[in-house]
Amino acid sequence: MSAVHDLDQEQRAVARAVRAFADEHLAPHAVEWDQAKHFPVDVLRKAADLGLGGVYVREDAGGSELTRLDGVVAFEALATGCPSIAAYLSIHNMVAWMVDRYGTDGQRRRWLPGLCAAEQLGSYCLTEPGAGSDAAALSTRARRDGDHYVLDGVKQFISGAGTSRVYLVMARTGGPGPRGISAFLLDREDPGLSFGPNERKMGWNAQPTRQVVLDGVRLPADRLLGTEGEGFRIAMSGLNGGRLGIAACSLGGAQSALERTMTFLAEREAFGTRLLHAQALQFRLADMATELEAARALVRRAADALDRGDARAPQLCAMAKRHATDTGFEVADSALQLHGGYGYLAEYGIEKIVRDLRVHQILEGTNEIMRVIVARGLTGAA
């Protein structure tokens, strides 16, 4: 296996193109979007013009058909402009990949062109008010009624809810536990589907987060994704890639915070010298850069394993998600500290990065659950 940290020419070109997009279309507006709680759907569609609406989707359905390694490179670059927008796009791409991977030809033709163009946005609906980390305990029901299913339940913390058009919903069609769960594709216009108010959050304010309420939503049977009882496996396979996307977004946000700190320290003076020349501060920067580089290598190693179908890929994805999101937050927090009082001001953009990256340690499986996954892989425990 080649060293995955040595990107090839095409991957370096992807990184440059996406970083240029982030610098032009995301970074100048990130603080404003955060404060106004504005979801820039028009910018998401511009990102789709760059191929970021269906990163992993096959080309015949309008996707870019890139590898997971390509994807983490792209999402890291995108998150330098705004981690909140990059992270939403990562979730959107998780939905698109699941439709591409598990959908019928008819489902792929119906749903994927709009998702890949970001003309239709996607939301992933697994978590419930009473079932977060224990996702297999979800209680949303899907009752078979002739040629239809009828869905009832509530989903919690759903990114994009209310604005998204496509909702990939996990619901219980059978008995308790993971084998009783199935996956369904819902359209925002389906009768009985509604949304709670936009949640007031610490970060991620540039994307909406709402409850998704299902009150007797009646779906034709062809909205079932995969087969009955396969939903939990579909959900978990999607999360392997989703965890890499969130990990990459943490790297990008932290990289931006590090770069802004370098610029700030180069411009500021104290005690007769520029702060960047102070060895104690140089050591802090060195540690931040070293930790980021180590996390980046692990994320790319896990992405390579997922691309190759390595049996250890789920464990490596959990390792990468845990390490990169912890590291990203710590680096961003250090960047705020090195800015002194200015880091606490919204106009410098550092406090926003800190707030945005904090939730990455929680979503797509909390970092405590990532430790459970890794431990199970080590010990063979069920």
- In angstroms, the CA 36 to CA 147 distance is 44
Do 191 and 217 meet the contact criterion of CB atoms below 8 Å apart?
yes
- In angstroms, the CA 95 to CA 89 distance is 10
Give the tokens for residue 173: 């069609």
The separation between CA 262 and the C-alpha centre of its own chain, rounded to angstroms, equals 27
* Residue whose token pair is 């949303």: 140
364 is catalytic: yes
- In angstroms, the CA 223 to CA 331 distance is 43
Task: Produce one character per residue of 118-130: b if its CB has 16 or more CB atoms within 10 Å, e if not.
Answer: bebbbbbbbbbee
Q: Which residue in the list 76, 128, 291, 364 is annotated as catalytic?
A: 364
Do 162 and 210 meet the contact criterion of CB atoms below 8 Å apart?
yes
Give the tokens for residue 230: 């396969």
- In angstroms, the CA 299 to CA 240 distance is 12
- In angstroms, the CA 148 to CA 36 distance is 41
Q: Please identify every residue annotated as catalytic.
A: 364
